[in-house]
C-alpha cells in the first residue's frame, strides 16, 4: 500500500461512489493471483483448463453482447469539442462525469474493488508511465497481471507524486445501452462502465497506452503508436529494428512473431519480437528514434492462429494464458478455434457456452455458428514467447530503422513502397486504409480510412495528431525511413497473390536494404517501388512476373483514392496541416502526368 495522498484520496472518492463491500490491493504476487484464480473458478468466472496440456491456462466467457471494442460508445472528453476533433466522439467532461456517476453509484455493492497499481514500460525507466486501475472484475485483475507490470514497486516508484493515470472500471450490470468508455485526457482519467471485454476494460492498453498516451506524447514530444516492434538479426549478430502499424486484425501479431523462411533461416537470420500492438517512441541522445513496447503480454486474436500462421503465438499461449470466448473442447478440457487445425472437437461448447455442432459452421455467419467468436482472444505473457527479443526488458528500448504502414487493400497499394521524406511518410500514414474487421463492433468488410492505424485510438484531434507527426520529424536528427506495405493484394478471383506470413520477411529485407542504401528502386508517383528482382523469391512458388504484378501502381485506382482521401481530410477538419494537403495535391499532379 501507499501513503500517497493523491492515490488515497482518489480511491476514497471512487469507493464512496461505487460502494464496494471491500477493497483489495493487488501486490503482484503469485500467491494472491493464485487465490484470485481459485475464487474466479469457484464462481464460474473462469474455467480451469487441462493443466497437463495447458499449464496455468484458464477459459473465460464474456457476456454475449460484449465481445469487442465499442467505438460508438468511446468518448474523448476534452473541455473544448474541437480538441477531440471530428473523428472522436466527444462529450464535455462535466456532462460525462455526471452521466457516468449515476451509473457508478452503488455499482460495486456486494463486490470487491480491486486496486491495481501498474506500469506501462519498465518501472523506473525514462519511458515508464504509471496507472492505477480500480475494478470490480477478477478477470480484469488477472489480465492486467499478464498485460502490464503490476505491484508494490509501482507504488514505490510513484512515491508521493500525483502523476498517474486514474482508471475506474465497473462491470456494473453489463448494460449495453449504458456502456461507456470515456477518456478525460486533461485529468489523466479513464472511466469504463458496463463492459467486461478486454479492449474496453484493460485500461492500460488502448485507453491509456494509446489514447491518453498519445495526448501526453504530443505535450511531451514523444509518440504513442499502434505499432508492433520487431528485430531482424543478421548472421553477423547485428540486429535492426522496425515498427509497423496495421489496422486491427491485419496480422500484426503474426508479423511481430514471424518465422524466417528457409532461405534466410539457413543463412542464420533470426527475428525477435519486441511488441505486437503498441510502441512508445522517443528521440534518443544519438538522434535516432527509440521504441519500447509498454505492455508485458499479448492480447491476441485466437482464430486463424495456427502452426503455420504463427507458431510462436501458439506456443506463447500454451502456458499461463487466459482464453476468452474460444471454443471449449469438453473431451480433454482444452480449447479450440476456427483455423487452429482441421479437427474441430466433436464434444464441445461454443464461445457462448452452448453445446456446439461443428457441422453447422457457416463462414458467412461466424458469430452464430463458429465454435470460437471471431474476436476471441488469448492473453499471454511476453516472456513465454519463444522469439521474445533479448531487448524486451531493456529500459532504453530499441533504435528504429524503419516505420512501416500497412493496410488491407485488394487492388490499390503495391506490395511495398517507400516514402520520399518524413513529411511524405507522414502523408502515407495519414491516408492508410483498410477493411473493417471483427476486432471492433460494427460492419465487417467495409473499407475505411485508418490513419497510422490510430483512427480509434488518437486521444485528441486527428488534425493535431498529423501535425505532431510533422513536428516530430523536425526534432529527430536521424529519423527512420517510412514505408507502406500491402500483403493483401488479390487476383481477379479474389485470391491473395502474395503468400504472406513468414514470407513477409522478404519484403522486410528489402526495406532494411533500402535503409542501408544497399539497393536501388523505381521512382513512381506514389514513392519508391522495388525492382522486382530485388525481392528475394528463392524457394517461393511465384514468378518474377507475379512480383512485377504485385508492384504495379494503378494510376486510375489511385486517382479515385485521391478523391476519397480529400473527403476524409475534410472530415478530419480544418486542423489537417497544409503540408499534408500539399502532399495530396502533388500526388494528384504526379498521377495525372
Ligand atoms: C486490438 C485492436 O485488440 O487493435 O489490438 O483492436
Ligand atoms: Mn491493436
pLDDT digits (tens, 9 = 90+) for 482-494: 999 999 988 888 7
Given the residues 57, 77, 96, 250, the one annotated as active site: 250
User: Which ligand is nearest the CA of 226, by number?
Assistant: 2
Shortest CA distance to 290 belongs to which of 382, 403, 123, 211? 403
Segments of the chain assigned to CATH 2.170.8.10 = 298-384
Give exposure, 284-294, as e/b (b: 16+ Cβ within 10 Å).
Answer: beeebbbbbbb
Alpha helices in 81-135 (DSSP H): 81-84, 93-104
Asked if residue 214 lies in contact with residue 458, where contact means CB atoms within 8 angstroms, the answer is yes
| pLDDT in the model for residue 247 | 86
Q: Quick one: which atom of ligand 1 is closest to the CA of 301?
A: 3
Task: Indicate the fold that domain 5-44+71-219 takes in CATH.
Answer: Phosphoenolpyruvate Carboxykinase; domain 1 (3.40.449)
| pLDDT in the model for residue 440 | 56
CB of 244 closer than 6 angstroms to any ligand 1 atom? no
Active site includes 250? yes
Q: Who surrounds ion ligand 2 at CB < 5 A? A: 248, 277
Segments of the chain assigned to CATH 3.40.449.10 = 5-44+71-219
Question: Is 225-293+392-592 CATH 3.30.590.10?
Answer: no
| pLDDT in the model for residue 412 | 87
| pLDDT in the model for residue 217 | 98
| pLDDT in the model for residue 250 | 82
| pLDDT in the model for residue 411 | 82
| pLDDT in the model for residue 491 | 87
* Planar angle of CA 326, 116, 132, nearest 5 degrees: 115
Q: Report residues of the chain scoring pLDDT below 70.
A: 435-446
The CATH code that applies to domain 298-384 is 2.170.8.10
CA distances (Å), origin 324, targets 100, 197, 316, 321, 337 = 27, 9, 15, 10, 11
| pLDDT in the model for residue 576 | 98
CB of 198 closer than 6 angstroms to any ligand 1 atom? no
Q: Give the predicted TM-score (pTM) of the model.
A: 0.96
Q: Write the DSSP symbol of residue 576.
A: S
Q: Quick one: which atom of ligand 1 is closest to the CA of 453?
A: 4
CB of 199 closer than 6 angstroms to any ligand 1 atom? yes
Amino acid at each position: 500500500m501507499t501513503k500517497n495522498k493523491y492515490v488515497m484520496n482518489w480511491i476514497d472518492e471512487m469507493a464512496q461512489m461505487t460502494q464496494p463491500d471491500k477493497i483489495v490491493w493487488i501486490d503482484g504476487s503469485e500467491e494472491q493471483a493464485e487465490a484470485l484464480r481459485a475464487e474466479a473458478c469457484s464462481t464460474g468466472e473462469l474455467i480451469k483448463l487441462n493443466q497437463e496440456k495447458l499449464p496455468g491456462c484458464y477459459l473465460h466467457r464474456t457476456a454475449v453482447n460484449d465481445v469487442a471494442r465499442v467505438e460508438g460508445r468511446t468518448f474523448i472528453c476534452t473541455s473544448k469539442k474541437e480538441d477531440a476533433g471530428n473523428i472522436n466522439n466527444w462529450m464535455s467532461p462535466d456532462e460525462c462525469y455526471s452521466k457516468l456517476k449515476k451509473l457508478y453509484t452503488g455499482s460495486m455493492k456486494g463486490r470487491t474493488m480491486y486496486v491495481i497499481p501498474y506500469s506501462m514500460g519498465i518501472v523506473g525507466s525514462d519511458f515508464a508511465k504509471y496507472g492505477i486501475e480500480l475494478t470490480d472484475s477478477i478477470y480484469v485483475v488477472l489480465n492486467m497481471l499478464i498485460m502490464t507490470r503490476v505491484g508494490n514497486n509501482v507504488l514505490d516508484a510513484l512515491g508521493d507524486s500525483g502523476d498517474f493515470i486514474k482508471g475506474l472500471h465497473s462491470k456494473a450490470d453489463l448494460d449495453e445501452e449504458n456502456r461507456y468508455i470515456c477518456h478525460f485526457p486533461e485529468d489523466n482519467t479513464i472511466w469504463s462502465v458496463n463492459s467486461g471485454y478486454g479492449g474496453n476494460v484493460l485500461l492500460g492498453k488502448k485507453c491509456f497506452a494509446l489514447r491518453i498516451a498519445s495526448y501526453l506524447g504530443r505535450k511531451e514530444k514523444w509518440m504513442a503508436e499502434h505499432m508492433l516492434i520487431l528485430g531482424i538479426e543478421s548472421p553477423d549478430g547485428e540486429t535492426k529494428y522496425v515498427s509497423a502499424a496495421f489496422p486491427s486484425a491485419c496480422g500484426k501479431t503474426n508479423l511481430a512473431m514471424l518465422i524466417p523462411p528457409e532461405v534466410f533461416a539457413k543463412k542464420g537470420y533470426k527475428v525477435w519480437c519486441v511488441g505486437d500492438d503498441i510502441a512508445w517512441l522517443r528521440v534518443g541522445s544519438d538522434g535516432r528514434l527509440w521504441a519500447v513496447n509498454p505492455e508485458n503480454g499479448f492480447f491476441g486474436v485466437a482464430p486463424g492462429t495456427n502452426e503455420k500462421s504463427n507458431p510462436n503465438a501458439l506456443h506463447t499461449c500454451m502456458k499461463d494464458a487466459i482464453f476468452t470466448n474460444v471454443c471449449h473442447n469438453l473431451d480433454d478440457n482444452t480449447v479450440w478455434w476456427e483455423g487452429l487445425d482441421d479437427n474441430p472437437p466433436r464434444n464441445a461448447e461454443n464461445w457462448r457456452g452452448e453445446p456446439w455442432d461443428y457441422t453447422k459452421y457457416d463462414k458467412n455467419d461466424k458469430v452464430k455458428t463458429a465454435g470460437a467468436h471471431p474476436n476471441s482472444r488469448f492473453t499471454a505473457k511476453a516472456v513465454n514467447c519463444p522469439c521474445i527479443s533479448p531487448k524486451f526488458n531493456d529500459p532504453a528500448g530499441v533504435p528504429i530503422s524503419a516505420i512501416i504502414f500497412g493496410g488491407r487493400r485488394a487492388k490499390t497499394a503495391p506490395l511495398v513502397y517507400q516514402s520520399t521524406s518524413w513529411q511524405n511518410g507522414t502523408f502515407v500514414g495519414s491516408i492508410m486504409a483498410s477493411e473493417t474487421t471483427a476486432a471492433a463492433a460494427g460492419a465487417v468488410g467495409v473499407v475505411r480510412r485508418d490513419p497510422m492505424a490510430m483512427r480509434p485510438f488518437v486521444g485528441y484531434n486527428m488534425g493535431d495528431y498529423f501535425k505532431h507527426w510533422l513536428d516530430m520529424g523536425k526534432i529527430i536528427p536521424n529519423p527512420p525511413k517510412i514505408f507502406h506495405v500491402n500483403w493483401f493484394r488479390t487476383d481477379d478471383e479474389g485470391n491473395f497473390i502474395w503468400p504472406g506470413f513468414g514470407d513477409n520477411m522478404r519484403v522486410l529485407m528489402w526495406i532494411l536494404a533500402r535503409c542501408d542504401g544497399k539497393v536501388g528502386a523505381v521512382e513512381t508517383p506514389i514513392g519508391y517501388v522495388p525492382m522486382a528482382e530485388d525481392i528475394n523469391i528463392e524457394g517461393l512458388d511465384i514468378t518474377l512476373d507475379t512480383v512485377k504484378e504485385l508492384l504495379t501502381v494503378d494510376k486510375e485506382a489511385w486517382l479515385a483514392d485521391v478523391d476519397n482521401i480529400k473527403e476524409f481530410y475534410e472530415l478530419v477538419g480544418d486542423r489537417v496541416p497544409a503540408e499534408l494537403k500539399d502532399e495530396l495535391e502533388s500526388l494528384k499532379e504526379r498521377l495525372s502526368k
